Structure 1
Amino acid sequence: MTETAQGFLGIMTGRRQGNPPIAEPEFCSQLSAAAPLFDLKVLVFHPEDVADNGSSITGYTWSGGHWQQTVAPPPDILYNRCLYSSPQEKKAAAAALSALSRTVPWSRGLPDKWRVYELLRRSPAVASLLPETRLYTGPDGLGSMLAEREYGVFLKPKAGSHGKRTLHARLLGGKEGGGLSIRGRDRNNGAFRLHFRTLDQGLSWIHRFTGSRRYIMQPYLHLTSSRNQPFDVRVLMQKNGRGAWTLTGMAVRLGGCGSLTSNLHGGGTAVAVLPFLLAEYGATGAELHEELAAAAAVLPPLLEETCGRLGELGLDFGIDAGGRIYLLEANSKPGRSVFRLTGDRRAAKLAAENPLRYARHLLLHSPAGRRNSSYNTLRYRQENEINGS
């Protein structure tokens, strides 16, 4: 393969309403439109549209400002953007990945939140950033943790996303009428509040709410602004065209007053990070900004050591009133709309183009990518000629 050889990038994504029916259509169109700058072709497809033997894929290409459905051979590089909301979706994606076993994965995925916590707490450089975390094993364990925590316990699914099905449970004192207060987000990310007169009633309801899903428990942390808005700092780390980790950008995600989470999918918004930190923490805000960048730089190599090669990470940090930083979550399939909301054009451009730069790097330096590229490009061109495109 030469430096000018053309490569073929496949983006596997979920289904949604629209034309075409793909998740993240704006991001996919940005990738597709910029791909020729990196001598790449892009196909967006669903897992179930991969042939059982992996010989072909039905998907969508971006041309002339609109999407076209097409049939294509297996891509050189596979960028998996699927977020699984059901066992069926996860099974379909696993079957597609198996059928495309000769395609080079753009990135591996991260394990669930509990496993990531177990991996990171072994590192002295990171352990101090982690909130205390326990597995939810039933009402007794939660009841014990509630008794230890004045401000309550935060519960979230081990494999959840976007703040869905999260809970904050807190024991109420006599002045508040006693019992258990619960606020949370349902499966559709709708907010709710409940009050149970007794602890046992509340614990039983939580156990039914969690169902068969596995949850983790953490102390409820006061990660709110001076205006009582929950916030966190999203840091996007990506590999560039040399395969090196770089900090693409940061943004503060702000939830509504009194809201449980700051996720954009739950109605939050985003603002520029440094002005926010300076307004909230004074001169210390600049130091916090540097500390966030330093913490974000340490995490990707640590996770790669045990999880395999990664291409990008969305790292969510919380900061309490005293300026202590906590790592709240690491996501191997991060969104990037925060930069559009903050008006950070540089970060938004890098966030959309770095996946292409890294795909190009893999094509040029991965033995499998070099082996597949000329073959797949030839097949892709032949098929387009046959189809008259």
Structure 2
Amino acid sequence: MDKGSGLVGIMVANQHERKYALQKYLNCNKTNMKLFCFTPADIDWKRNSITGIHQTNRKWLLRKFPFPDVVYNRCYRLNPQIIERLGTIIGSNKCFNHINQFNKHEIHIHLSQWLAQYLPETILYDKENVLRLLDAHKVLYVKPCYGNKGKSVYRVEVKDSKEIHIGEHHFLPKIIVEDSQQFQVNMDKLVGSTPYIIQKGVDIQSLNEQVFDIRVLAQKNKRGQWSATNVISRLAHKGCFNTSMCEKVCLSEKALKQLYPPDKVNAIIRSIYDISLRAAEIIEMGTHCHLGELSVDLVLDSAGFLWIIEVNGKPQKELYDEIDKRDSVYKRPLEYAHFLQKK
């Protein structure tokens, strides 16, 4: 394989992902760069080579490659020393997405310096904090600091009767307790030793009795600048608060047009772009990590105000498979890699 036109290595977590991931990007590669896919275990540091999979004449082949010009990291959990070692060989600015697994509390701290008005109150979980915030806000969301597709997220609501309802995925509670002591016992079992955050509950806008979010895919473009590739909404199943378990995905503009007049929709879309791209810049600056893409999850409350709910370091690309212009989701990281290769 000729490296003269540029060589990009896409790093994934395990060997089973290599062919699937590479095919997605090969289909959308409009650059003249050559692509191969590898895992951290495929790196031979002693021989300065990487065993990776690539495609030639529609055949999948496994071979050794020199270290590429650019590495696009798609591993969710990765030892940071691997990124550091790659950086010393190919250049510290030639590997992007230094981290893909964000700590929700740390991200909140970074964003709160500049975008505090768009953030629901969020603090680390402990016994005192959860009772204090529950008393103040009546509805809370309790989430793992390191989330994974909406798993183990709990909705807590104190009712007028003083009962406390705990729900997982659904508004209907899985646990009902009568006092704070019983509540704490149950929450301790659910949370265990895992680090969690507590987030003030937002009265989320619904569409046809379905809660929906607004996910902005922010990616760096061929000029190295943050841009919004796609803005989509996930509609939760009826009775569910967790949009990660969605019934369908659509362009956010389509969802918003069913709720608001055109002028209001345009204003909301402009705000979504402004907030999300600013968030991407702040996170990259705050973490001191070289990033190339992330997704920002927002919701509208019943008054039409936007809130940042969380930010994801490894966007789920499959969400876009049925959406118009889905190729851009895969094309843009390669354009950014091309930008880095030319620097």
Q: TM-score, normalised by structure 2?
A: 0.88
2:318 and 2:130 mapped to 1: Cα distance? 35
Matched, 1:305 2:292: no
Are the counterparts in 2 of residues 50 and 96 from structure 1 also a CA contact under 8 Å? Answer: no
Are the counterparts in 1 of residues 120 and 201 from structure 2 also a CA contact under 8 Å? Answer: no
Structure 1 stretch 322-331 or stretch 223-232: which is displaced more? 223-232
Residues 1:5 and 1:192: Cα distance change in structure 2 (over 3 Å): farther
Q: What is aligned with 2:223?
A: 242
Q: TM-score, normalised by structure 1?
A: 0.78
Identity over aligned residues, as a percent?
A: 24
1:213 and 1:334 mapped to 2: Cα distance? 23
1:273 pairs, out of 235, 252, 271, with 252
After superposition, residues 1-389 of structure 1 pair within 5 angstroms as 5-15=4-14, 21-22=16-17, 26-35=20-29, 37-53=30-46, 55-65=48-58, 67-84=60-77, 90=78, 93-94=79-80, 96-101=82-87, 102-103=89-90, 104-109=94-99, 111-123=102-114, 126-137=115-126, 139-150=127-138, 152-174=139-161, 178-184=162-168, 193-263=174-244, 266-283=245-262, 284-308=264-288, 309-341=290-322, 343-344=323-324, 346=325, 348-365=326-343
Are the counterparts in 2 of residues 131 and 219 from structure 1 also a CA contact under 8 Å? Answer: yes
Greater helix share, structure number: 1
Q: Which runs of 5+ in 1 are unaligned?
A: 85-89, 366-389
- Structure 1 residue 58: deviation in Å? 2.5
- Structure 1 residue 14: deviation in Å? 2.1
- Structure 1 residue 277: deviation in Å? 0.5
Are the counterparts in 2 of residues 165 and 184 from structure 1 also a CA contact under 8 Å? Answer: yes
Secondary structure of 1:292's match? helix
Opposite residue 105 of structure 1, the aligned amino acid is: C
Residue correspondences, number: 333
- Structure 1 residue 47: deviation in Å? 2.0
2:303 and 2:13 mapped to 1: Cα distance? 41
Structure 1 stretch 283-292 or stretch 316-325: which is displaced more? 283-292
Secondary structure of 1:286's match? helix
- Structure 1 residue 109: deviation in Å? 2.7
- Structure 1 residue 13: deviation in Å? 1.3
Structure 1 stretch 5-14 or stretch 330-339: which is displaced more? 330-339
Are the counterparts in 2 of residues 277 and 286 from structure 1 also a CA contact under 8 Å? Answer: no
2:211 and 2:112 mapped to 1: Cα distance? 25
**Shift >4 Å, 4+ stretches:** none
2:55 and 2:192 mapped to 1: Cα distance? 42
Opposite residue 50 of structure 2, the aligned amino acid is: I
What's the RMSD between the two structures over aligned residues? 2.5
1:323 and 1:221 mapped to 2: Cα distance? 11
Q: Which runs of 5+ in 2 are unaligned?
A: none
